[in-house]
């Protein structure tokens, strides 16, 4: 027997609540459609818009997949996962088909953010390991001692500690076991800071 629109929307709200409680971030449009039996993403969006108009859910129009129940802040947001970062790996500023990663909304404040997958062990003494995700706020300067994503000579992207010595901008590794990493890298006029690392996200 066909369900009414109210029954479908009740099922959507129930699924949202269950998913938020069990994994901490909301389901995708596709997951909602599969769960409630809607093949068209447009149909799911239609029901979500109605639920929002009725005050049962809240959606942040500036962020993908930021859905929360009424009177609750969004628990997760999606930010673009742009590239891997580490010696020899470029920081990609723009790509056509951007993969995203869902992270707790509490990690992200104002401004534009992106994530990079860490490759290598140059920052292990700072608690940053191979395979971690660096959550980055896009900005072109940072304070001395902060962890940043930077390019050097326009050739590679790296995650390092920023050091300002006079007019020199240096990047320091954090790995006592590799003496080759202790020599700071200098950002030249062809290099730049891409953003400040505000959090490290690790899948357990």
Active site residues: 122, 160
Instruction: Decide if 90 contacts 156 (C-beta within 8 A).
Output: yes
Distance CA 73, CA 138 (A): 23
Q: Which residues contact 153 (CB under 8 A, 6 or more apart)?
A: 188, 190, 191
Which residue do the tokens 């395979």 mark? 131
Where is 169: in which H helix or E strand?
A: strand 168-172
CB-based contacts of 202, cutoff 8 Å, min separation 6:
129, 131, 132, 133
Q: Write the CA distances from 51 to 56, 62, 67, 70, 81, integer angstroms.
A: 5, 18, 11, 10, 30
């Amino acid at each position: 027997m066909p369900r009414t629109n109210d029954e479908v929307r009740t099922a959507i709200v129930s699924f949202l609540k269950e998913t938020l409680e069990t994994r901490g971030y909301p389901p995708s449009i596709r997951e909602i459609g599969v769960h409630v039996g809607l093949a068209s993403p447009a149909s799911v969006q239609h029901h979500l818009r109605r639920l929002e108009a009725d005050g049962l859910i809240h959606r942040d129009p500036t962020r993908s997949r930021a859905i929360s129940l009424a009177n609750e802040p969004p628990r997760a947001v999606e930010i673009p996962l742009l590239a891997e970062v580490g010696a020899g790996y470029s920081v990609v500023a723009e790509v056509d088909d951007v993969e995203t990663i869902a992270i707790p909304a509490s990690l992200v404040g104002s401004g534009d953010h992106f994530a990079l997958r860490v490759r290598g062990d140059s920052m292990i003494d700072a608690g940053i390991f191979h395979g971690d995700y660096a959550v980055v706020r896009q900005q072109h300067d940072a304070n001395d001692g902060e962890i940043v994503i930077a390019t050097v000579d326009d050739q590679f992207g790296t995650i390092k500690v920023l050091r300002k010595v006079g007019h020199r901008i240096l990047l320091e590794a954090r790995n006592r076991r590799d003496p080759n990493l202790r020599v700071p890298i200098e950002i030249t006029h062809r290099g730049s800071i891409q953003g400040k690392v505000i959090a490290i996200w690790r899948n357990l």
